[in-house]
Amino acid sequence: MKVYFRKNLLLWVTLAVLTLLFIFAARGMATRDWVITLLRGLSVGSVTFLVASGFSLIFGLLDVLNLAHGTLFMIGAYIGWTVFIRPDTFVDLIPLLALLSSGFLLSELWAELGKRLPSGRWTRLLPWMSLLLAVGLLVLVLPGYPVTGWNLKVFSQTPGTFAFMADQGLLVLPVAKAFEHPPALVLCGMLLASLLAAFGFSAFKRNTIQAAGWVNWRQIAAFVIVLGVGFTVFFANDALTKFLTGINTSWLFLIAVLTATLSGVALGALMESTLIRPLYSRPIYQLMLTLGLSAIGIEVIRAIWGRPEFTMPKPALFGGTGEGCPATSLGAWLQHQCSTFLLMGGRVRVYNEIFIPLVGIVVLVVVWILLKRSRLGMIIRAGVQNREMVEALGINVRKAFTQVFALGVGLAALGGVLAAPSMGLSNTMGESLMINALIALAIGGLTSYPGAALGSVLVGLIQQVIIKYGAIGIPIPFTEIVFKPTPPLVPASTVLLMVIILLILPNGLLGRKE
Amino acid sequence: MTENNTAYRKPQGFLRRNQGLWITLAVLILLPFVIGLFEGASPLQVWTNDSGISKFTQGLAIEIFILALYALSYDLIFGITGLLSFGHSMFFATGAYLTGILLKNFDLPVGITVLLVLAASAVNALLFGIVLPRVKGITFALVTLGLASVFHIVVMSGELKDYTGADVGLQGVVTPAFISPANERLRFYFIALTILILFYLLYKRFVSSPTGRVCIATRENEGRARMLGYNTFYFKLAALLLSSATAALAGTLHALYQPIVSPNVASLGFTVSALLIILIGGVGTLKGALIGAAVYRLLDFGLRRYVGESASFISGAIYIAIVLFVPYGIVGTWALKSPQIKQGWTRLVGMVKK
């Protein structure tokens, strides 16, 4: 124990100094304000943590600085918003995505088929032809598939208007568009295009893929399930939309969170396996790739959801404002489901200041258990320590890479959809959070998972304390001057903290010693 | 990387060794006059700055020169010395803002301004030098990012509005009449070109000097360089000092040329554009910085002009395409693939001749 303290003396001194700073900060304001500021700091810290933890997992194992992480956070928020406000659009999109992705599930079949083909000049052209055919088919078929969405050009149908109406409880979903062509033709066309595209892509590298055999039951089962889901949703479209608009918004919010997280996971897996994988030997170009992806992601969001900012209403569980609010006890809160809670005479927003930190803690614990107790976690921890050794032991680190990337992006998307009701949605929400997360990671230690949590909480706390003091001012001792930190000092304070901590402890607070 | 191996096979003599450079230089000197001819303006009219198109092209070229100088300085510390810094925009912004403030608020002559800018750039480099021994790799990048963000926040803050113009940017810099970009643009063009070429030659000399060689060794394997008895800290500091001075000069040119010094030049985004430029051109190849700057600026200009709003979508897609299909930047990939390309070219010529 004594040795441990002596070895980590600097860490303990730094932590003690930080604690002292917070205690001094507490003396300047009323206890009530202090507690609320702490809760707000925890809230900001939790959202930062969700982004930072994924980033740190990816950086730790894969050595990839994923600069698109902020954009992925934003994409999660926008997807969650779509499910929450416009369930009809969501239901319309499910069959589309299911059919388009189904062909890619049969990768082994395509690989085997590619191997059996006689090689010659025509077989070399085959992938191009099948891709071209797929694209042509999609161009023909996709406009025939109606998706009830919004219209950025008509003000009464912009996402902002829908969000406002939903907030007022006046949301009326527009009438679903009808098919112009026979639906069976459109669906079959999409399925065929997906099969052709998947075959085309796999035929490009037909000499490198090792296929186990014609039939892989797992893949075929997945194919059938995805197709089944797609067709079921397609035929039960109206009923499902009615069901989703009818249920309590808390459940709908849960569905939105799950959808956004799963989309993040899928997006991450797709990104890693197609774009990041060829770049492990050229780390610096990963920066350029992720920057490019980030720019593309922002533009796609602008094209689909438009540039103006809009809000996302809180789920019913946290939205009550009427009689009996703000709640004074837990029982009263459960009864009225108020949006605010009285704590020592001050109002606390339940969603922002209690729910988000709780989710943050749950995610922290779950991922912690995943890292410490599961096989994937073991591979990740070993891979962070020494990647070559793990590979040499015959473990498929590539698969673990894809899983970790997917997990990290999923965490970012989860953070996005959770932050949306409290922060609102804008095209720039990713950037600022990304910088915050980077600072938090640098403070906590870049590859350390608990470090990500500690750093995020510190960043959140310091920002909120400075914002609070911006309102009440700091009396400077021995003078009459009251110093009020200006808004630019909020980012500056965390940046300065990062620089100081990195100069004292170059690996961050909980980083691995070299 | 590739330069080291082929250095001894290059043709001898200063003029022949830099053949490509001299050809480019001749093209760039003739460019304003040739462009003027398209409008029907005689070289004399171009000389007296009477040709609109030529003047516009010169403006674009001057921006490319400034960007190239800036990217060149980043290539020295990242590509040659191997220090990943995310705070490089601070060097540039120091030059730009200091020049603007000294010319506008203190009415100093240009010469003294440049001297003061160089002094400030040395201070900047020493500031980075202080953190250099403590932190390495990605942590150094983050600390420099921190320093640069503090600088950015200071520049943007309302308290210094009289000097820096806060978030609006520094306006009303009085450029001396003899290099005024409005009336004497051709002169400005040639001055910028001269500075760029001089610095390019200086950098080439630096890289092939013993000091530069140790810098490369530091990039490849710092531990081994230390084992050989080189105190790598001083070499990194030397690279930082040279790089900072160059970037600050680029900033000075920027302040003299542009009507507004926007605070964006101090942001992380501007460092990232330097990184993108040398990734496009080829890391560690000085030529790459020049070519990359031209590609980057022309791409940006073309997309903004012909595509408009969704320009960054296409530029993002182009970056990804470059990453996937031009794996080591333009210069690096050319060096790698040139035998194949030449072979293909001869085969094509042979097929055509038949």
Check CB contact under 8 Å for B153 and A495. yes
Is residue A319's pLDDT more than 80? no
Is residue A116's pLDDT more than 80? no
In tens, the pLDDT along A7-55 reads: 777 788 888 888 888 887 777 777 888 888 888 899 999 999 999 999 9
Please name which of B215, B209, B244, B197 lies closest in space to residue B73, comparing C-alpha atoms. Answer: B244
Out of A288, A491, A503, the one facing B276 most closely (by C-beta) is: A288
SS3 A493: helix
pLDDT band at B168 (very low <50, low <70, confident <90, very high): confident
Distance of CA B183 to the CA centre of its chain: 25
Instruction: List, in order of start, the domains of chain B with CATH numbers.
Output: 2-353 (1.10.3470)
Q: Token pair 């009459």 is at which residue?
A: A480
Check CB contact under 8 Å for A291 and B136. no
Is A499 at the interface with chain B, CB within 8 A?
Answer: yes
Residue A469 to residue A462: CA distance in whole angstroms:
10
Residue A314 to residue A250: CA distance in whole angstroms:
9
In tens, the pLDDT along A419-472 reads: 998 888 888 888 888 888 989 998 988 878 888 999 999 999 988 888 888 777
Contacts of A234 (CB under 8 A, 6+ apart): A95, A183, A187
Q: Give the mutation candidate from A67, A291, A427, A435 for the B interface (greatest B CB count, under 10 A).
A: A291
* C-alpha dist (Å) from residue A321 to A169, A337, A355, B150: 13, 8, 17, 42
In tens, the pLDDT along A360-389 reads: 999 999 999 988 888 888 888 888 778 788
Check CB contact under 8 Å for B319 and A295. yes
User: Is residue B42 within a helix (H) or strand (E), and if so which, with residue range?
Assistant: none
Region A61-87: what's the mean pLDDT?
90
Residue A298 lies in a domain: yes
Is residue A79's pLDDT more than 90? yes
Residue A511 lies in a domain: no
Residue A110 sits at the vertex; the CA angle it makes with A99 and A201, to the nearest 5 degrees, is: 75
Region B302-322: what's the mean pLDDT?
85
pLDDT band at A312 (very low <50, low <70, confident <90, very high): confident
Region B100-127: what's the mean pLDDT?
90
Do B15 and B22 contact (CB within 8 A), yes or no? yes
Is B264 at the interface with chain A, CB within 8 A?
Answer: no
SS3 A177: coil
User: Is residue A353 within a helix (H) or strand (E), and if so which, with residue range?
Assistant: none
Is residue B332's pLDDT more than 70? yes
User: What does the buried/exposed string (b/e) look like for B130-149 if buried means 16 or more CB atoms within 10 Å of the residue's CB?
Assistant: ebbeebeebbbbbbbbbbbb
Check CB contact under 8 Å for A502 and B322. no
Residue A510 lies in a domain: no
Number of domains in chain A: 1
Out of A285, A495, A502, the one facing B139 most closely (by C-beta) is: A502
Copy the structure tokens of residue B26: 């001749």
Out of B135, B276, B283, the one facing A506 most closely (by C-beta) is: B135
Please name which of B240, B248, B16 lies closest in space to residue B117, comparing C-alpha atoms. Answer: B248
pLDDT at A405: 92
- Backbone φ and ψ for A412, nearest 5 degrees, come out as -60, -45
pLDDT band at B2 (very low <50, low <70, confident <90, very high): very low
Copy the structure tokens of residue B255: 């302040």
Global ipTM: 0.80
pLDDT at B163: 81
Is B265 at the interface with chain A, CB within 8 A?
Answer: no
Residue A466 lies in a domain: yes
Copy the structure tokens of residue B150: 């503090």
Residue A241 lies in a domain: yes
Is residue B109's pLDDT more than 50? yes
Mean confidence (pLDDT) of chain A: 84
Check CB contact under 8 Å for A495 and B146. yes
Region B304-316: what's the mean pLDDT?
83
Check CB contact under 8 Å for B312 and A287. no
Is residue B7's pLDDT more than 50? no
Length reported for chain A: 514
In tens, the pLDDT along B216-270 reads: 999 888 889 999 999 989 999 999 999 999 999 999 999 999 888 888 898 888 9
pLDDT at A210: 60
pLDDT at A212: 61
Check CB contact under 8 Å for A486 and B158. yes
Peptide bond preceding A326 in cis form (omega within 30 of 0): yes
Residue A289 to residue A297: CA distance in whole angstroms:
12
pLDDT at B9: 54
Amino acid B163 reads Y
Residue A469 to residue A472: CA distance in whole angstroms:
5
Do A149 and A89 contact (CB within 8 A), yes or no? yes
Contacts of B96 (CB under 8 A, 6+ apart): B170, B251, B252, B254, B255, B261, B265
The single-letter DSSP state of residue A120 is S
Residue A264 to residue A416: CA distance in whole angstroms:
10
Residue A58 to residue A216: CA distance in whole angstroms:
31
In tens, the pLDDT along A145-176 reads: 888 878 888 887 888 888 888 877 777 777 77
Is B349 at the interface with chain A, CB within 8 A?
Answer: no
Rg for chain A, CA atoms, rounded: 26
User: Is residue B115 within a helix (H) or strand (E), and if so which, with residue range?
Assistant: helix B110-131
Residue B354 to residue B345: CA distance in whole angstroms:
14
Is A275 at the interface with chain B, CB within 8 A?
Answer: yes
Do B96 and B252 contact (CB within 8 A), yes or no? yes
Residue A198 to residue A193: CA distance in whole angstroms:
8
Residue B125 to residue B236: CA distance in whole angstroms:
10
Residue A509 lies in a domain: no
Do B181 and B50 contact (CB within 8 A), yes or no? no
In tens, the pLDDT along B291-306 reads: 999 999 999 898 888 8
Q: Token pair 């249920």 is at which residue?
A: A247
pLDDT band at A285 (very low <50, low <70, confident <90, very high): confident
Residue A195 to residue A54: CA distance in whole angstroms:
33
Do A322 and A306 contact (CB within 8 A), yes or no? no
Amino acid A497 reads L
pLDDT band at A206 (very low <50, low <70, confident <90, very high): low
* C-alpha dist (Å) from residue A474 to A458, A477, A485, B157, B188: 20, 9, 8, 19, 51
The single-letter DSSP state of residue A477 is T
pLDDT at A209: 56
- Backbone φ and ψ for A478, nearest 5 degrees, come out as 65, 5
Residue B68 to residue B246: CA distance in whole angstroms:
11
Do A76 and A414 contact (CB within 8 A), yes or no? yes
Interface of A with B in 55-84 (CB under 8 A): 65
Check CB contact under 8 Å for B319 and A294. no
Contacts A284 to B, Cβ<8 Å:
84, 279, 283
Residue B291 to residue B20: CA distance in whole angstroms:
12
Q: Centre a 10 Å sphere on the Cβ of residue A345 and count the other Cβ atoms it contains.
A: 8
Residue A514 lies in a domain: no
Average the pLDDT over each of A206-215, A233-242, B62-71 and give the range with the smallest value: A206-215
Taking the CA of residue B194 and the nearest CA in chain A, the distance in Å comes to 31
Do B295 and B281 contact (CB within 8 A), yes or no? yes
pLDDT at A199: 85
The domain of A162 spans: 2-504
Contacts B90 to A, Cβ<8 Å:
none
pLDDT at A306: 85
Region B48-63: what's the mean pLDDT?
83
Between helix A429-444 and helix A449-472 the angle, nearest 10°, is 120
Q: Percentage of chain A surpassing pLDDT 90?
A: 20
Length reported for chain B: 354
Region B41-66: what's the mean pLDDT?
83
Is residue B1's pLDDT more than 70? no
Do A261 and A363 contact (CB within 8 A), yes or no? no
Mean confidence (pLDDT) of chain B: 86
More confident residue, B163 or B199: B199
Copy the structure tokens of residue A388: 């070559």
pLDDT at B354: 66
Do A382 and A14 contact (CB within 8 A), yes or no? no
Between helix B88-105 and helix B52-74 the angle, nearest 10°, is 130
Residue B270 to residue B141: CA distance in whole angstroms:
15
Residue B128 to residue B148: CA distance in whole angstroms:
10
Is residue A253's pLDDT more than 80? yes
- Backbone φ and ψ for A8, nearest 5 degrees, come out as -105, 30
